[in-house]
Amino acid sequence: MKTWLITGASNGLGRLMSERLLARGDVVIACVRRVAAMADLQQRYAERLQVIALDLAQTATIAPAITQAFASAGRIDVVVSNAAYGLFGAAEELSDAQIERQIATNLTGSIQLIRAAIPLLRQQGGGRIAQLSSEGGQVAYPNFSLYHATKWGIEGFVEAVRQEVVSFGIDFLLVEPGPTATNFGAGLDVATALECYRATASGELRRRLQSGEFAILGDAEKCVTAMIATLEQPQMPLRLALGSTAYQHIDMALQNRLAELHTQKALAYGADA
């Protein structure tokens, strides 16, 4: 039996993961903005489910909540940083308030969660942290510029921090799902469209999403199965792409990036002293 701390546990992949882990007999500490959203699971798993109110956008509350969770559990084997939200719109269309909320939730909140967990994991002799990213942590779509900024940002943060703490027995997994059938799309914060973007790539993607043409191939249940299985492997990869869309898009992006880099070798070396 393992103990898991999961943020954003009331819906999407976080909810499915919580249900799966509780059903098999594990202990779950669910961090959610609305405690009432977990009432049904609390009734079924009262002895193995602890629910903590936590909004990652309120960064000052993160460290006390995580400290409380570790103190009550005694040991937490896996921390799953899953809470996030999506902001949709061309960069010019977004409001300052929307941008601040996106960064506070997806980037600053995730950073502070990891920072709060590290000393506690170190004190107990190690553990694992899963950070939910996205294919959008390595590729980019129009209208998701701020979402991508947070996902590319958290991936860079995790890749650096992993090197800092590996000797303490702390390891990381970056989970990169492609478009997946969850309620993420329904929860998108959509900026008001500007007419000047109608005939651009931004306007085209907005139209495809609104019409239902945008393909969503990922299966949430299968994603959760893969996440849990990977987190329980003796040796984990750093990144886990989930879904054919994610695999294909990331593969293409990396190949294109590498090909472009190779054309610049002489210029790059020529910049040395």
Rg of the chain over all Cα atoms, to the nearest angstrom: 20
- What is the domain count for the chain? 1
Residue 70 to residue 58: CA distance in whole angstroms: 19
How many C-beta neighbours within 10 Å does residue 146 have? 24
Question: If pLDDT is split at 50, 70 and 90, which confidence band does 184 have?
Answer: low
pLDDT per position as a tens digit, 76-129: 999 999 988 889 999 999 999 999 999 999 999 999 999 999 999 999 999 999
How many C-beta neighbours within 10 Å does residue 218 have? 20
pLDDT per position as a tens digit, 15-30: 999 999 999 999 999 9
- Name the active-site residue from 81, 151, 197, 202: 151
147 is catalytic: yes
- Name the active-site residue from 10, 18, 110, 133: 133
265 is catalytic: no
Residue 49 to residue 26: CA distance in whole angstroms: 9
- Name the active-site residue from 45, 147, 197, 202: 147
CATH value at residue 254: 3.40.50.720
151 is catalytic: yes
pLDDT per position as a tens digit, 257-266: 999 999 999 9
Q: Where are the beta strands (DSSP E) in 90-217?
A: 127-132, 170-177, 189-190
Helix axes of 145-165 and 109-124: crossing angle, nearest 10 degrees:
20
pLDDT per position as a tens digit, 218-249: 889 999 999 999 999 999 999 999 999 999 99
Give pTM, 2 decimals: 0.94
Question: If pLDDT is split at 50, 70 and 90, which confidence band does 155 have?
Answer: very high
Give the range of the structural domain holding residue 253, as residue numbers without chain letter: 3-269
